[in-house]
C-alpha cells in the first residue's frame, strides 16, 4: 500500500475534526461511507449522534465502529438487539457488549443467548 501524501493526511484530519464536531445527524450522515474506519468510529462516538444515525452506523462492516455504537449513550434498545448474533459461532465482542448493555437496561436473556420474547 502506498504511503499517504501530506494532502491526504490533512484531508483525513479535517474529516476527523468534522466528524467529531458535527452537531446533528445531517452533519454526521456523510461519514457513514467515509473510507477511513477511524473517522466513521469518531462520527459514531459523537455525543450529538441520535438513535437514528447510530442505527445506521450499526450496519458498518467494521466491528470497531459497531462497538462505538454499542457504547453510545443515545443508542436505542432496538439497535442493540439488532447487533446481537443468533449464530453462536459468529458471536464476538459486539454481541457480548450489546448483550451486557441490554442486561444493564433490564433485558432478560434466554438460554440461547438472545432476549426472551
Q: Which residues pair with 95 in a beta bridge?
A: none
DSSP-based three-state secondary structure for 3? coil
Is 114 part of a structural domain of the chain?
A: no
- Dump pLDDT digits (tens) for 100-111: 999 999 999 999
Range of the domain at 86: 6-104
Is 22 part of a structural domain of the chain?
A: yes
The dihedral through the CA atoms of 63, 90, 82, 99 has a sign that is: negative
* Tally of domains in the chain: 1
Contacts (Cβ under 8 Å, ≥6 apart) of 104: none
Q: Mean pLDDT over all residues of the chain?
A: 96
Is 111 part of a structural domain of the chain?
A: no
- Dump pLDDT digits (tens) for 47-67: 999 999 999 999 999 999 999
Burial string for 56-73 (b: 16+ CB within 10 Å, else e) reads bbbebeebebbbbbbebe
pLDDT of residue 2 exceeding 90, the answer is no
Amino acid at each position: 500500500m502506498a504511503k499517504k501524501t501530506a494532502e491526504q493526511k490533512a484531508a483525513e484530519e479535517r474529516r476527523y475534526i468534522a466528524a467529531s464536531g458535527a452537531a446533528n445527524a445531517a452533519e454526521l450522515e456523510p461519514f457513514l461511507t467515509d473510507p477511513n474506519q477511524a473517522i466513521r468510529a469518531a462520527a459514531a462516538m459523537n455525543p450529538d449522534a441520535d438513535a437514528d444515525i447510530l442505527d445506521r452506523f450499526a450496519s458498518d462492516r467494521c466491528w470497531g465502529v459497531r462497538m462505538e455504537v454499542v457504547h453510545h449513550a443515545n443508542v436505542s434498545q432496538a439497535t442493540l438487539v439488532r447487533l446481537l448474533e443468533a449464530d453462536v459461532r459468529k458471536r464476538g465482542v459486539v454481541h457480548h457488549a450489546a448483550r451486557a448493555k441490554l442486561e444493564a437496561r433490564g433485558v432478560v436473556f434466554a438460554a440461547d443467548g438472545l432476549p426472551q420474547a
